[in-house]
Structure 1
């Protein structure tokens, strides 16, 4: 009588294994590339040369490590199913841009690390839903400007790192909503202290000196401290290339007075032409690790089906004998 009991137990075990394989192999214990910790609800996919984010990250995940990979872009919905995340690291990748709304579902997020990527700008409202965040790291990118109000919703933010970028100024009132801020790193940016746009930052640093760590390290391109800049030194009304008023008036006048026949035909970049035709690249292209994961999952599924069939036949055989 023990034969059918053992066979039934084997059937349950194999069924569980089959369900695990059917859900996808993400963690090493299931044949995947990432390391999962059920107790801390963390998933570590760092150092895996990933070019796309795995699509089967558990919904209960609270900590997600995607640093030190080869991510160059993100799908706008990459994290929309991970509303319980409190920690997300995308540092040391190759991200060149962030799609609007990519972080909108991460309402519980406490830490976000985007340092050491290739970001040149940030979309407006990119952090607006992260109202609980306390640590935001944007250092080591190529940021040339910040959108107006980019930090306005971050009332809980305590640490902000903007060091090692290409910032020349910050928008008027950029830090006014950071009522709990205790540290802001601003060093290694080419702050333009000849333009009056710098006066907001200079005044803010003077007001927060001794209360907010790191801000005194901000220096102008001539190595003078930003906090020491006076209105006389920053007297120019500078126009930067990222603003609409940066178009030279001579070009506008020339275009306005030209005949249609005089305007040269401009070549359309191939990528724009593809967008015009409605072509879109897939958000997630299969990577080598992901292909291996798919193959592993498929083989595991087939093996599970074979063993499950054998177990069923084994049970039927003993039931007939009984």
Structure 2
């Protein structure tokens, strides 16, 4: 009777090894597509054409680079085992939404890059657990509004990039809790200076002028500087979609007559982005990277399958005898 027992043990071991290899192919050394550095704890999965985040990213990863891929969505628990992460780059993807709570376990995160995506809105409380964050890039998206208090927990934030979005206003008090902020970009947004909602931003810019870099570049749709807007000019009580206030008739007419096809494509400052990330051109770009394995990984997988099949036949043989 020892034969079947030994065979069953062998089957379990081989099956476990095979499952581990099939699900753990994140790093190139294991047959995956990402470059992993055990010394720096850096996992580089950038520029691989990924449509999904690789599974089994090492839990002690400090820096995770996923920029320049084809990610259109994120699983809600995509980063829940990565509480050591200090740098996360998701820039230059196709993200349209962010699931609530997706960043909640990243309590050590220092830098978060989300620029050059397709984000139109942010979930309530999306950054509430990122209390150590110092840099947040949200530029080159399609943000139309900011949730109330979205930046309230970011007391350590020093850099906030919001340029080149579709923002017309910010909630009252939106920037009040970022006491260490020394750089913010607000330009290339269609700030609506006919509505009194703009008065908070105008006052905040005047108060921070000379203390926070980049704020003077915020201009209204009529090209007037936001900081120059007076209460008389911003007299309308406007209401925007998904907020507590209605769009003035003039704005509705303008929106109805606009055509997305007439909006020119804006150049993407890839050089600055790459410099920030320390990016280098990859030596190859696989077409279906999430399905690819190295030759050694493939051979190892095939060997595991062969041995597993042999073990199964071995068990069946002895069970028949028994």
Give the TM-score, by structure 1 length: 0.74
In structure 2, the partner of 1:188 is 188
Q: 290-299 or 55-64: which moved more?
A: 290-299
Residues 169-318 of structure 1 aligned to structure 2 (within 5 Å): 169-243=169-243, 246=246, 288-293=288-293, 297=297, 299-303=299-303
Are 2:24 and 1:24 aligned? Answer: yes
For 1:240 and 1:148, locate their aligned partners in 2 and report how far apart those are by CA, in whole Å.
Answer: 14
Question: What are structure 1's unaligned runs of at least 5 residues?
Answer: 1-16, 249-286, 308-322
CA distance in 2, matches of 1:244, 1:228: 25
1:294 to 1:100, Cα distance in 2 relative to 1, 3 A: farther
Partner of 2:83: 83
**How many pairs were matched up?**
254
RMSD over equivalenced CA pairs, Å:
2.5
Measure how far apart 1:19 and its partner are: 10
Report the Cα offset of residue 289 of structure 1: 1.8
Q: What are the equivalent positions in structure 2 for 1:70-219 lying under 5 Å apart?
A: 70-219=70-219
Q: Structure 2: any 5+ residue segments left out of the alignment?
A: 1-16, 249-286, 308-322
Alignment check: 8 A CA contact 2:23 2:55 kept: no
How many angstroms apart in 2 are the aligned matches of 1:91 and 1:101? 19
Counterparts in 2 of 1:295 and 1:132: CA distance versus 1, 3 Å = same
Contact 1:20–1:30 under 8 Å retained in 2: no
CA contact (8 A) 1:25 1:294 kept: no
Distance 1:296 1:169, change over 3 A: farther
Corresponding residue number in structure 2 for 1:54 = 54
TM-score, normalised to structure 2's length? 0.74
Q: Structure 2 CA distance, aligned partners of 1:129 and 1:33? A: 30
